[in-house]
C-alpha cells in the first residue's frame, strides 16, 4: 500500500458527489455514505463517523460500516471516554496509530474486542467548528501518510456536507412548524412574488376561494383576471390615486417608460424593467428590485394595498388586504402577503 500513487480519491470523487447529493438532506444516511467511502479510500476494515452532540459533551458512534460495526456503542458517550477520537477533536488534527495495543489513549478492552491493530483518524471541522471525527481501523499493515492525507481530504469535504445537511434538515423542520402555524389560523393567506406568482398558500384559503390551496401554487394572479372577484381579492391592478402615480412623484419625463401616464400602483410589476431614470433601462433584476425597496413609491403603494378590499366571492362577503414582505437578506427580493377573511 505504501507504493500506491497519491490522489486515489480522484476515482471516487464523482461517485461521492452523486451519493452525497442524493443523501444531502439526511445527516444520518450521509454519515453512512461517508463511512463507506472512507473504508474504500484507505482500505479499512471498519470506519466510524463519531459526531458531537450539540453541547459538545457527548459523542455518538451510530454511523459505522465494516467488520465488527455492531461492537461500537449505538449510544451517546462522554467525549472524555472516546479515546483516540477525543484526542483528534481536542487537537483538531489527524493522527496515525500504528499499534492500538500500545497507545495509552486507546481503550484496551475495545481494541481487543474489535481485533484491530492500527488506526487512522481525522477531525470533522465545518466553519471552524469541530463537529465530529472520521475513524478508520484495520487488522493488517499500519496506515500510511498517504492514507492520512486521503482521510484529511475526505474529512474536509464530509464535514461541510454534514453541516449543510443539518442546515437543510433544520430548515425543513422549521418549514413544517410554520406550515402548521399558518394552517391553524382562520384567515386565508397567500404569498405572491413581486411579479405576481403564487409562492405559498395555507389550507384555510379554500374556505374563501373556489380553488384548492395546492392548485394556486405557481399560478400568476394576473391569470385570474377572467374571474373579476378573484382579481379584486388579489388587487393586482389596484390603481394609484391621482398625485401618487410613479410618473407624477418622480416628475418623470422619460418617453420610453412603459408606466408613463399609467395608473398602476405596482409600477415595478407593470413596467417590466423597473424605474428607468433619464431614459436608461436597467438590466439586473435584483438591482432593480433592491432599488424599488428604497423608492418612496413602494411606501405609497404599501399604504394603498393595506386598505381592506371588500369583495363578494362564492356568495360571501370577504375582506382582503395586502402587505409588503421585505427580504431578510440584502440580495433578497420582496414579496407580498394577501390575507383573506370574512367581512365584519
Residue 8 has pLDDT above 60, yes or no: no
Name the average pLDDT for the chain. Answer: 81
CA distance 334 to 323: 11
CATH class as words, domain 184-342:
alpha beta
CATH architecture of 8-170: 2-Layer Sandwich (3.30)
- Please state the domain extents for the chain: 8-170, 184-342
**Beta bridge partner(s), residue 338:** 190, 322
Q: Distance of CA 71 to CAs 61, 68, 113, 127, 130, Å?
A: 10, 6, 8, 32, 25
User: Which residue reads 390575507 in cell numbers?
Assistant: 339
Mean pLDDT of 88-109: 83
Least confident of 193-207, 275-289, 310-324: 275-289
Contact 339, 323 (CB under 8 A): yes
Rounded-to-integer distance, Cα 171 and Cα 120, Å: 34
Stretch (H or E) spanning 249: helix 246-249
Q: What cell was used for 57? A: 459533551
pLDDT in tens, 308-335: 999 999 888 999 999 998 877 666 788 9
Instruction: Write out pLDDT tens, residues 11-21.
Output: 555 555 555 55
Query: How are strands ordered across the β-sheet holding 198-201?
Result: 198-201, 188-193, 335-342, 316-325, 309-313
Cell 461541510 identifies what position? 160
**Torsion sign, CA atoms 163, 169, 175, 181:** negative
In our burial notation (b when 16+ CB lie closer than 10 A, e otherwise), range 329-339 reads eeeebbbbbbb
Residue 1 has a pLDDT of: 39
pLDDT digits (tens, 9 = 90+) for 131-170: 999 999 998 899 999 999 999 989 988 888 888 888 888 8
Give the confidence band of 244 by pLDDT, cuts at 50, 70, 90: confident
Would the pTM of this model clear 0.95, i.e. be above it? no
Judge residue 283's burial from the number of C-beta atoms within 10 Å of its C-beta, 0-12 exposed, 13-18 middle, 19 or more buried: exposed
User: 268: buried, middle or exposed (CB in 10 Å: 19+, 13-18, 0-12)?
Assistant: buried
- Check residue 84 and give its pLDDT: 82
Using the predicted structure, report yes or no on whether residue 24 has a pLDDT greater than 90.
Answer: no
Specify the pLDDT at position 144.
92
Q: Which of 32-36, 195-199, 272-276 has the highest mean pLDDT?
A: 195-199
Please give the share of the chain, as a percent, with pLDDT higher than 90: 23
Q: How confident is the model at residue 6 (pLDDT cuts 50, 70, 90)?
A: very low
Buried b (16+ CB within 10 A) or exposed e, 232-251: bbbbbbbebeeebbbbeebe
pLDDT of residue 124: 94
In this chain, the answer to whether the domains covering 8-170 and 184-342 adopt an identical fold is yes
User: Is the pLDDT assigned to residue 65 strictly greater than 50?
Assistant: yes
Amino acid at each position: 500500500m505504501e507504493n500506491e500513487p497519491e490522489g486515489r480519491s480522484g476515482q471516487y470523487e464523482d461517485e461521492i458527489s452523486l451519493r452525497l447529493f442524493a443523501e444531502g438532506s439526511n445527516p444520518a444516511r450521509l454519515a453512512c455514505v461517508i463511512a463507506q467511502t472512507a473504508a474504500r479510500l484507505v482500505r479499512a476494515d471498519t470506519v466510524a463517523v463519531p459526531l458531537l452532540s450539540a453541547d459538545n459533551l457527548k459523542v455518538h458512534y451510530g454511523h459505522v460500516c465494516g467488520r465488527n460495526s455492531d461492537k461500537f456503542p449505538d449510544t451517546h458517550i462522554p467525549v472524555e471516554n472516546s479515546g483516540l477520537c477525543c484526542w483528534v477533536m481536542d487537537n483538531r488534527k489527524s493522527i496515525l496509530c500504528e499499534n492500538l495495543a500500545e497507545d495509552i489513549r486507546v481503550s484496551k478492552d475495545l481494541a481487543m474486542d474489535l481485533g484491530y491493530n492500527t488506526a487512522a483518524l481525522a477531525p470533522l471541522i465545518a466553519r471552524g467548528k469541530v463537529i465530529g471525527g472520521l475513524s478508520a481501523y484495520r487488522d493488517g499493515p499500519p496506515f500510511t501518510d498517504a492514507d492520512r492525507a486521503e482521510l484529511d481530504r475526505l474529512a474536509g469535504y464530509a464535514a461541510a456536507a454534514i453541516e449543510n445537511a443539518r442546515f437543510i434538515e433544520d430548515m425543513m423542520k422549521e418549514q413544517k412548524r410554520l406550515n402548521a402555524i399558518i394552517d391553524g389560523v382562520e384567515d386565508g393567506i397567500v404569498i405572491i412574488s413581486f411579479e405576481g406568482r403564487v409562492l405559498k398558500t395555507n389550507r384555510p384559503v379554500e374556505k374563501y376561494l373556489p380553488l384548492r390551496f395546492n392548485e394556486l401554487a405557481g399560478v400568476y394572479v394576473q391569470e385570474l383576471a377572467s374571474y373579476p372577484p378573484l382579481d379584486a381579492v388579489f388587487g393586482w391592478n389596484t390603481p394609484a390615486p391621482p398625485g401618487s402615480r410613479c410618473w407624477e412623484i418622480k416628475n418623470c419625463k422619460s418617453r420610453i417608460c412603459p408606466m408613463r401616464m399609467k395608473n398602476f400602483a405596482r409600477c415595478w410589476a407593470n413596467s417590466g424593467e423597473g424605474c428607468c431614470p433619464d431614459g436608461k433601462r436597467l438590466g439586473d433584476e435584483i438591482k432593480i428590485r433592491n432599488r424599488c425597496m428604497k423608492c418612496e413609491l413602494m411606501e405609497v403603494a404599501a399604504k394603498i394595498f393595506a386598505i381592506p378590499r371588500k369583495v363578494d366571492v362564492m356568495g360571501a362577503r370577504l375582506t382582503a388586504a395586502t402587505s409588503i414582505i421585505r427580504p431578510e437578506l440584502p440580495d433578497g427580493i420582496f414579496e407580498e402577503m394577501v390575507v383573506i377573511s370574512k367581512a365584519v
